Amino acid sequence: MKHRKLGKSELQVSVVGLGCNNFGFVANMDVEASRKVIDKAIEVGINFFDTSDSYGTSEEILGEVLGERRKKIVLATKVGAKPKPDGEKSGVSRSYILAEVEESLRRLRTDWLDLYQIHYPDPKTPIEETLRALDDLVKQGKVRYIGCSNFSAAQLNEAQKTVADKKLTSLVSSQDEYSLLARPIERELLPAIERHGMGELPYFPLASGLLTGKYKMGQPAPTGTRLERKQALADKYHTAANLEKVARLEQFATKRGHTLLELAFSWLLARPVVASVIAGATKPEQIEKNAKAAVWELSAEELAEINRITLAGGSAH
């Protein structure tokens, strides 16, 4: 397993990371099912584990299963997306962050977080207030580095300007949806991330499973799959245009002796700004496949051909 430096931090993260939202949240995995996936991830060399305080029991499960191994991994969590009774996200006010970080540390059974990320922008809280709270956590040794997720380029630029003006701890990473079928961040956000010397952490790298090859043109989503169970995701991803691109991408990969999965991971990692591709898993065998997928060194010609396929008819969403 290769490792990359996360932005300007000292963190070395495996190029394939483990997204932990399946543990007790998306897939309602129990401790033992989660343990099999976590054990396999560590066995194959994955050292970057990403969770959130809003992923149900994910933090508790990680805390229970990791034990002493926690010291050998890069542990990341997020704050700001927990739903309040009125349905709104919790936000990232100073008081909320300072209280919630203690809860995350308790659930994860650790004294520090390697990466603490703002899960979503909070329109009700000035970014300086949020960044000062995070800066205090870094100074206290509870958090090593900070990052953000789902920011626009303008929001990211404002945050990093505030960091520079007020001499606060800088954001080292940005976590965003990015895949062969979801490329809007390339317009403004990715250039901003590169300009600020940050690392990009793509989530949904397989477009909710569409880039695994199990969904075919003219066929319904297979029973039990995420796109069969969740209509909102199906409406977003399971479209004729996407299925046509998937068919062409699969043909492209097969012709060169690779799988669609290998193409999905390797294409993201062809960008030096991408530090670790965050992929979830519900079974150990998925972990093995994901870990082995980041092996294809794509040529300039191959990357150009992939652009022709995925950007056909405009920017892919």
User: Residue 102 to residues 115, 143, 267: CA-CA distances in angstroms?
Assistant: 14, 11, 38
Cα–Cα distance, 181 to 307 (Å, whole number): 11
The tens place of each residue's pLDDT in the chain, 317 residues long, gives 999 999 999 999 999 999 999 997 777 899 999 999 999 999 999 999 999 999 999 999 999 999 999 999 999 999 999 888 888 899 999 999 999 999 999 999 999 999 999 999 999 999 999 999 999 999 999 999 999 999 999 999 999 999 999 999 999 999 999 999 999 999 999 999 999 999 999 999 999 889 998 878 777 777 777 776 777 777 888 888 999 999 999 999 999 999 999 999 999 999 999 999 999 999 999 999 999 999 999 999 999 999 999 997 544 33
Task: Please indicate, yes or no, if residue 237 is contained in any of the structural domains.
Answer: no
Task: Please indicate, yes or no, if residue 196 is contained in any of the structural domains.
Answer: yes
The pair phi, psi for residue 132, each rounded to 5°, is -65, -40
Helix (H), strand (E) at residue 189: helix 189-195
Cα–Cα distance, 257 to 278 (Å, whole number): 24
Task: Please indicate, yes or no, if residue 38 is contained in any of the structural domains.
Answer: yes
Task: Please indicate, yes or no, if residue 124 is contained in any of the structural domains.
Answer: yes
- Active-site positions read 55
Q: Which DSSP symbol is given to 68?
A: G
Contacts of 270 (CB under 8 A, 6+ apart): 298, 303
Domain count, the chain: 1
What does the pLDDT read at residue 313?
54
Beta strands in 89-215 (DSSP E): 113-118, 143-149, 171-177, 199-203
Cα–Cα distance, 40 to 36 (Å, whole number): 6
**Cβ–Cβ under 8 Å, residues 101 and 142:** yes
What does the pLDDT read at residue 220?
77
Give the amino acid at 107.
R
- Other CB atoms within 10 A of residue 161 CB: 12
What does the pLDDT read at residue 5?
98
**Cβ–Cβ under 8 Å, residues 121 and 151:** yes
CATH number, domain containing residue 57: 3.20.20.100
Lookup result for tokens 């995701």: 233
The pair phi, psi for residue 112, each rounded to 5°, is -150, 155
Task: Please indicate, yes or no, if residue 203 is contained in any of the structural domains.
Answer: yes
- What angle is formed at CA 94 by the lines to CA 89 and CA 95, rounded to 5 degrees? 80
Task: Please indicate, yes or no, if residue 12 is contained in any of the structural domains.
Answer: yes
Domain containing 151 equals 3-213+260-297
Task: Please indicate, yes or no, if residue 272 is contained in any of the structural domains.
Answer: yes
Task: Please indicate, yes or no, if residue 19 is contained in any of the structural domains.
Answer: yes
End-to-end CA, the chain: 30
- Other CB atoms within 10 A of residue 111 CB: 9
Lookup result for tokens 């949240």: 25
- Which contacts qualify for 64-68: CB closer than 8 Å, 24 or more apart? 64/31, 64/109, 65/31, 65/34, 65/35, 65/38, 65/39, 66/38, 66/108, 66/109, 67/109
- Other CB atoms within 10 A of residue 106 CB: 12
